[in-house]
Amino acid sequence: MADIQGKVVVITGASSGIGATTAKALAKQGAAVVLGARRKDRLDTLVKEIEADGGRAVAVACDVTKRGDLVVLVEAGVKAFGKVDVLLNNAGIMPLSPMSELRVEEWDETIDVNVKGVLYGIAAALPIFEKQGSGHFINVSSVAGIRTFPSAAVYCGSKWAVGAITETLRQEVAAKNIRTTVILPGAISTELGNSIHHQETAEALAGFLTIAVSPQCIADAIAFAIGQPANVGVHEIVVRPSVQTL
């Protein structure tokens, strides 16, 4: 799309799954991508793949639970490419378990990554977007951000929060020519389930994920939102397998 060509897109959680797939897809369409994740070795490999295919990319080690890491990541985009047009807050975890298990440390980690990580990304990019007079926040939620499920109370809460934050941000920044989009994936083939340590829940999810579709469909949705004319905002997209009933 013409409106992707030349844009600079910062992506968290870029070392695998939706983040890595989206990075490659956007780079092929002419965007420069700034890749952030904790697994720097994977990012470096991804940068080489993108550059070998004629794209532009840089990688920065980034833990979204650390506000300073998000500042460094966004600033790396400005330093490398002169601007940042889009921040894709994609990093997330899903350590599901029944609340009766009292896995409070996992609850804390879920909030730190899924909610505070998004907020830290917004805090890093918003001043730049306001100074530029343009920008686009894309926050990855989940169908768990519009539905609730047993064993997913905290995860659902974190994803409902992402939706609420994104909508409220939209209301605040729309007049500043800053767009917001929330993406709500259903069953997608990613490493997200690896963060589940409660055996029964992990086994149930494995059965559910037999219907999962490729993260490419999420990358396509993200590209659609970015590629719209500047005066068009796509605020919410739900993408799931056509056979998914939840």
> Catalytic residue numbers?
155
Q: Under a CB-based contact definition with an 8 Å cutoff, are residues 143 and 34 in contact?
A: no
The closest of 141, 226, 152, 214 to 182, measured between CA atoms, is 141
In whole angstroms, how far apart are CA 147 and each of 53, 95, 143, 153? 39, 17, 6, 10
Burial of 35-70, coded b for 16+ CB within 10 Å and e otherwise, reads: bbbeeeebbeebbeebeeeebbbbbbbbbbbebebb
